[in-house]
Amino acid sequence: MNLSTDLLAAPAGLQTFIPPQRCLLGPGPSEIDPRVLTAAGRPTIGYLDPAFVTMMEELKSLLRYAFQTANPVTFAASGPGSVGMEMCFVNLVEPGDKVIVCRNGVFGGRMIENVTRAGGIAVVVEDQWGQPVSPEKLQAALAANPDAAVVAFVHAETSTGVASDAATLCALAAQAGCLSIVDCVTSLAGIPVAVDAWGADAVYSGSQKCLSCVPGLAPITFSARAIERVKARKLPVRSWFMDLNLILGYWGETTRTYHHTAPNNSLFALHESLRLLAEEGLAASWARHRRLHEMLAEGLAPLGIEFLVEPAYRLPQLNALKVPEGADEAAVRRRLLVDFSIEIGAGLGPLAGKIWRIGLMGYSAREESVRRVLAALRELLAR
């Protein structure tokens, strides 16, 4: 082949991509604080550079604050929240292990898929979408399955906007001798997450929700009991990339063994987003999300828009709203994006076409954002 003549022609007419400026009020990603965007654009350095190692240690400390844990094994996995989920299951579930999975939305369903792919046996505790996980149903499932090894549930179900009682569910798991896997992708920094107080064993989140960081990182933490289970496995972890036995040498306190090329600039951004969280304070962040949710709810009431979830279980940062009778669900979302540059989310699964999901997460949880979406909805529904 003559390389000088047989190469494909390069695409012509391409310009620098400049994304439109959106008001991101969907289920994620959220808008990003300018300080975090600036941090992401700082010079790249090597992942074994002493300066980078120092930043990694600070990042671990900041994540412990966000998770409210003293777990030494607390770090940011390289990948989105789904990688955090899979890392928990491939490390803690061996072939033949029985895992009780509580499903009350899309992401409980994904947990079941992870159990199956890890070779485990899923025992499913079902609750209605829009309802929290039932402690009574979990207790019954544990009694019926005394050989269960793990209990898994979603703390804040992004598909429905409902919060479950993590403290009670983790306590039930521990009393039965089970490890607990908890999905906090949407809850971290938006509502109280207290890993040590809950007694949770494996907890993961995502960078792009209430932390308002660039997508692609999964904050994660493991208890000492969970690490003991990993080290006592009979068979190797099925995923090389997510094997904690290897990753511990990468994020260890005294060692830095090469494992993979870290997403350095994304970690710079996460470090800054966690600094912002520490400056505001966890309690203040939780209160801000609650206050903006109440402001949204007050503005929606005159429009006849009702919530899917009862007040006691609503996520302030993820508002699932019933589409009013006569409104075209998809058309309203489309016009919000095209006419007002506002993004909100649609329903998933059995709720598709029936609800809108308005996220007030992290940097998106601001008064001007709430006023903007309320004004736009008033105009569109009046049409």
d(CA 200, CA 182): 7
106 in Cβ contact with 159 (< 8 Å): yes
- The CATH number for 23-29+281-382, chosen from 3.40.640.10, 3.90.1150.10, 3.40.50.720, 3.30.70.2860, is 3.90.1150.10
Q: What is the pLDDT of residues 339-358, one digit of tens each?
A: 999 999 999 999 999 999 99
The whole-number pLDDT of residue 211 equals 98
pLDDT in tens, 39-65: 999 999 998 889 998 999 999 999 999
Sign of CA dihedral 273, 276, 278, 282: negative
Average pLDDT, stretch 165-170?
Answer: 98
The pLDDT value given to residue 259: 86
Indicate if the pLDDT at residue 1 is higher than 60. Answer: no
Pairwise CA distance, residues 358 & 321, whole Å: 8
What per-residue confidence (pLDDT) applies to 2?
60
pLDDT in tens, 137-161: 999 999 999 999 999 999 999 999 9
Query: Is the pLDDT score of 167 beyond 80?
Result: yes
The pLDDT value given to residue 258: 81
Distance between start and end Cα atoms, the chain:
62
Over pLDDT 70: what percentage of the chain? 97
**Cis bond upstream, residue 29 (ω within 30):** yes
- pTM of the predicted model, to two decimals? 0.96
Residue 10 has pLDDT above 70, yes or no: yes
Give the count of beta carbons closer than 10 Å to the beta carbon of residue 338: 9
- Residues 259-290: tens digit of each pLDDT: 888 899 999 999 999 999 999 999 999 999 99
Q: State the virtual CA torsion across 97, 82, 25, 282 in degrees, nearest 10.
A: 70
- Tell me 134's DSSP state: P
Q: The dihedral of CA 81, 82, 86, 92: what is its sign?
A: positive
CA angle 94/185/44 to nearest 5° reads 95
Q: Give the model's pLDDT for residue 169.
A: 98
Residues 305-324 have pLDDT tens digits of 999 999 999 999 999 999 99
- Give the separation between CA 181 and CA 218, rounded to whole angstroms: 14
Beta strands, E only, 318-364 = 318-322, 342-343, 345-346, 355-359
Q: 97 CB contacts (<8 Å, ≥6 apart)?
A: 118, 119, 120, 121, 149, 150
Question: Which architecture characterizes domain 35-278 according to CATH?
Answer: 3-Layer(aba) Sandwich (3.40)
Predicted local confidence at residue 3, as pLDDT: 59
Residues 6 or more apart in contact with residue 274 via CB below 8 angstroms: 59, 62, 63, 65, 66, 211
Task: Report the C-alpha gap between 93 and 318 in whole angstroms.
Answer: 30
pLDDT of residue 344: 98
- How would residue 250 be classed by pLDDT, with cut points 50, 70 and 90? confident
d(CA 354, CA 378): 19
**Mean pLDDT to the nearest integer, 13-20:** 94
Residue 255: predicted pLDDT: 65
pLDDT at residue 7 in the model: 80
Segment 183-221, tens digit of pLDDT: 999 999 999 999 999 999 999 999 999 999 999 999 999
d(CA 155, CA 106) in angstroms, rounded, equals 13
Q: How does pLDDT run across 66-106, given as a tens digit for each residue?
A: 999 999 999 999 999 999 999 999 999 999 999 999 999 99
**CB distance 164 to 193 below 8 Å:** no
| pLDDT score, position 261 | 87
Mean pLDDT of the residues in the chain? 96
State residue 4's pLDDT score. 61
Strands of the 318-322 sheet, one edge to the other? 318-322, 355-359, 345-346
Q: Domain-by-domain residue ranges, the chain?
A: 23-29+281-382, 35-278
Write the CB contacts of 270 (distance below 8 Å, at least 6 apart in sequence): 59, 76, 207, 211, 213, 214, 217, 219
- Predicted pLDDT at 14: 92
Name the amino acid, one letter, at 109: G
Rounded CA-CA distance 335/330 in Å is 9
